[in-house]
Amino acid sequence: MVNSDSEYNRLEWLCRYLLDENPRYRQTPVPDSLQERRDFFRALMSVRSPMPISEEFLRVQDEELQALLAEKGVVELAGQSLCEWQGDITRLKVDAIVNAANSQMLGCFVPLHRCIDNAIHSAAGVQLRLACAEMMKGSDEPTGSARITPGFNLPAKYVIHTVGPIVTTPLPLRQQEAQLASCYTSCLDLADRHGLESIAFCCISTGEFRFPNDRACDIAVSTVRSWMASHPESSVKTVIFNTFKDIDHELYQNALAKD
């Protein structure tokens, strides 16, 4: 349980640090209520550019994020090979969770945006954006490929970032379907190369990237099943399809129930 008084003061310090970094924000007041401070801190993390930061900030930030994780609760799904779980992916204790990233792979810069990219970076801490910036060095990542970073304050050891196709037509093109399948195989290949045993996929390219939920589910399940069947010696033994929306929960439950 988070001590509200200590967290209230900790958030004051964290928010003030991030405000003082930028001359534009230095005169901005920190909100009064605890929840407003949590939201404000998350918003400030989202808009922060990847630049050096003090060890003291990281220590205090990590205390805050670990306290929030303890409040949410960590979820373990042991002993399952292929399954679906509905909930917050940042709670899953697995070797890797998959982030639906944009081509810059720096996370979402929109304050309090409800995308999974924002949620993962907010829960991991500012170290994740710094690691991504170092990894990318200003380049863009091709659609369908994947990169790996540590998970930092997440219960997952690693984050595998993949760029899914963006659908702008009424139905996805065949090339986009192939790119989405490539996202799943690229993530699994990367997990296997790093000797990881468990991986949790989000619903890549749905939502903000507008890939139809039902077709995305079909591609995800069939691609993963095919990869697992063709890689019997892989280190990857557990694959979780993480869903958040009820429509995806129902789609994946039905898809996994089929032989």
Instruction: Report whether 28 contacts 19 (CB < 8 A).
Output: yes
**61-77 per-position pLDDT tens digit:** 999 999 999 999 999 98
Query: How would you classify the pairing of strands 146-150 and 158-163?
Result: antiparallel
**80-93 per-position pLDDT tens digit:** 799 999 999 999 99
Q: Helix H segments across 84-153?
A: 116-124, 126-136
98 shares its domain with 40: no
Query: How would you classify the pairing of strands 158-163 and 238-243?
Result: unpaired
pLDDT at 1 over 70: no
For residue 79, what pLDDT is reported?
75
**Coil, strand or helix at 238:** strand
For residue 3, what pLDDT is reported?
55
User: Distance between CA atoms of 221 and 241, rounded to whole angstroms?
Assistant: 9
* Domain that residue 40 falls in: 4-72
pLDDT at 4 over 70: yes
Length of the chain: 259
51 shares its domain with 134: no
DSSP 172-213: --HHHHHHHHHHHHHHHHHHHHTT--EEEE--TT-GGG---H
The mean pLDDT value of the chain amounts to 95
17 shares its domain with 47: yes
Among 43, 72, 101, which residue terminates a domain?
72
**11-52 per-position pLDDT tens digit:** 999 999 999 998 888 999 999 999 999 999 999 999 999 999
Domain count, the chain: 2
